[in-house]
Amino acid sequence: MATTTTTLFFCFFFIVFIAGAAASAVEEVEQQQQAFAPEQPLISRIVFGSCANQSAPQPIWNAIIDFNPQVFIWLGDNIYGDIRRPYKLFGKERTIGPWKNVPRFVPASETEMQLKYHIAKKNSGYSLLRKKTQVIGTWDDHDYGLNDAGKEFSEKNVNQKLMLDFLDEPQDSPRRKQAGVYASYTFGPKGKQVKVILLDTRYHRDPLSSDGSILGDSQWSWLKKELNGPKTEITIIGSSIQVLSNLSATTGPLFYMESWGRFPRERDHLFKMIASSKRNGIFFISGDVHFGEIARYDCANATGYPLYDITSSGLTQAVEKVIPEPLAFLVEVAAWLTPTTMRLISTSCRYRSCTYGQTNFGAIEIDWGVTPVTVKVEVRDVNGHPAISVNIPLSELQNQGSNDRNTLKVAELQRHCTLERNLPWITRYRLAFLFYYFLAVLLLLVVGLSYAAIKYTKRIFGKCKYYHHNSVKISVVQISPVICQICSSSFKVSQEATGSTFYEEKPPLQCFSPALPRRREISCNLILNETKDWIAIPNLQLEVCPTFWQALAAWPLGTATVQRGLLPSGRKRKMKSLTSIGMKLLA
């Protein structure tokens, strides 16, 4: 028995010894491989972008290539794969409005998705960028396959393969085996390394109304491992939707946009995970919203430094392109009026709102040669010119202890600490209040003008009279420059020439043009029958009646005074219609 026990103990000790030696050998081999591995090039220029419709012109690639980036990061909507139905408020298939009965977006087939990726990949500008630059990326809803879709979308596995093919992902890549397209990359030599973590905010996302999960359990475990892994000087976390700004909290009920702010527990969990990792140099990049901005949050649960989120969207899609050019300024006005506590307001912004609603791309420029190292983050326009820019010293992104509210400056407390959903309701819904107020004023104005036009037109048409005589010959002076049309459609037109009258059928009759100057003399003959028996009636009032649209165009309407009138003798009677009228404009 003792011999057996001794033998077992010796075997166990031998196995442990061999395992430890093997582990040491593996570690030594890895160290030797790292020692002899070629040093990675220094990364100092990174570009990112989102929202590129493959069917739209894409001149922005020229500016991106001119920036000479070493890495390009897709942040989603790399193509617009789903099919958008037209706006229909009424009809059998209604796509908008509270009574819509069919979805506005429907998924495309696999063949259609392949074709759209092919078009995007063969774009001349993008093809040139792929030859010069390493391209990585994640996806958003439109290349995922359906607008605003989450984990319920049935075609996500098929579309994951197509998206990874578009990115030229190796066939043995872990991304082709996992559920979702999340990934991480490390660039640069030791001591000057940049880590890029790309999240998948689609594959595992719960419904928008649930406040459930965005990443799912498996991706959360992976992210925790990445954040707690080897340290790097800079860590860029790429999210297809905005992390810091929560515009839905301040633009509802007019507009609703996806963001981490619509899943507050998930966002708090993200901030806590970053804080617990004690990792320095973290900032976010994002897309989706069709405009560019830079946001900052100073109270992210004791991370010890402010968090930045640089949003660039889109490469072809932009909010100001949707609105006709004369009204494009309304987008800037709305952005300025929208309350936001996260947006970074700087004098270097091109517009007062510090948003940029035209096509744009994001640029990151790292200056490793200065102390402290400086990271310049920018939103650039289609020509490559900065529209929004901020310099972030790397020393600012170092854990400096708790950033409790009491340690923040008073000026920064409200601006970059209070979350949008915690704003007073009167502030949160300011944009909606103003919109509905101006809409009500506009409707009242339209109703008031319509009512006034109807009343005015009735008053004008009310002046039209049937004259109580068979015939009349008049001369009119001081007629106002309005469009004049006598109130009857059964006229015979005659012109007075050398004392004789001839007739021409041409109803209805326009007495004179709108350009007729004042104080021009008009001679009118109203000949109703063959009688030649005339009598004089002084100062007869002759009022003219325009058509409806002429009445709206003419202001004010004039009344002609007859200085000399000849009427036939006989008993007066009300006439039902005029049969002829003649006129001549005298110089």
What band does 416 get if pLDDT is binned at 50, 70 and 90?
confident
How many domains are contained in the chain?
Answer: 3
pLDDT tops 80 at residue 567: no
Which tokens hold the place of 244?
Answer: 């810091």
- Say if residue 569 is in the same domain as residue 542: yes
- Say if residue 419 is in the same domain as residue 568: no
Q: Which parts of 253-343 fold into alpha helices (H)?
A: 264-277, 319-322, 329-337
pLDDT of residue 541: 35
Question: Region 45-74: what's the mean pLDDT?
Answer: 98
- Say if residue 449 is in the same domain as residue 328: no
Is 502 in a helix, a strand, or coil?
A: strand
Instruction: Tell me the per-residue pLDDT of 367-411, one tens digit each, with 9 for 90 and over.
Output: 999 999 999 999 999 999 999 999 999 999 998 765 444 333 433
- Say if residue 373 is in the same domain as residue 281: yes
Domain boundary among 443, 462, 481: 462
pLDDT of residue 444: 93
Domain that residue 446 falls in: 429-462
pLDDT tops 80 at residue 352: no
- With contact defined as beta carbons under 8 Å apart, do 460 and 557 qualify? yes
pLDDT of residue 301: 59
- Say if residue 497 is in the same domain as residue 409: no
Of all residues in the chain, the percent with pLDDT exceeding 70 is 67
Instruction: Tell me the per-residue pLDDT of 225-269, one tens digit each, with 9 for 90 and over.
Output: 999 999 999 999 999 999 999 887 777 777 788 999 999 999 999
pLDDT tops 50 at residue 548: no
Q: Which parts of 82-189 fold into alpha helices (H)?
A: 110-121, 124-132, 141-144, 156-166
Cis peptide before 386 (omega within 30 of 0): no
Instruction: Tell me the per-residue pLDDT of 442-498, one tens digit each, with 9 for 90 and over.
Output: 999 999 999 988 887 766 555 444 333 333 333 333 333 333 333 332 233 333 333
Q: Is 275 left (phi over 0), alpha (psi -120 to 50) or beta?
A: alpha
pLDDT of residue 98: 66
- Say if residue 385 is in the same domain as residue 492: no
- Say if residue 139 is in the same domain as residue 265: yes
Highest mean pLDDT among 293-297, 417-421, 506-510: 293-297
Per-chain mean pLDDT for the chain: 75
CA distance 30 to 18: 18
- Say if residue 303 is in the same domain as residue 437: no
Question: Region 114-121: what's the mean pLDDT?
Answer: 98
What band does 121 get if pLDDT is binned at 50, 70 and 90?
very high
- Say if residue 447 is in the same domain as residue 302: no
- Say if residue 190 is in the same domain as residue 315: yes
Taking CA atoms, 419 is separated from 187, 296, 432, in Å, by 34, 11, 19
Which CATH number does the domain housing residue 305 bear?
Answer: 3.60.21.70
Instruction: Tell me the per-residue pLDDT of 276-320, one tens digit each, with 9 for 90 and over.
Output: 999 999 999 999 999 999 999 988 655 789 999 999 999 999 988
Q: How many angstroms separate the first and last alpha carbons of the chain? A: 142
Task: Give me the count of residues in the chain.
Answer: 587
Highest mean pLDDT among 161-175, 324-338, 458-472, 521-535: 161-175
- Say if residue 323 is in the same domain as residue 373: yes
Place of tokens 């630059």: 133
The DSSP element (H or E) to which 426 belongs, if any, is helix 425-428
Name the residue among 51, 62, 59, 476 with its Cα closest to residue 242.
51
**22 in a structural domain:** no
- Say if residue 226 is in the same domain as residue 206: yes
Domain boundary among 410, 428, 446: 428
Q: Which parts of 311-416 fold into alpha helices (H)?
A: 319-322, 329-337, 410-415
- The whole model's pTM is what? 0.71
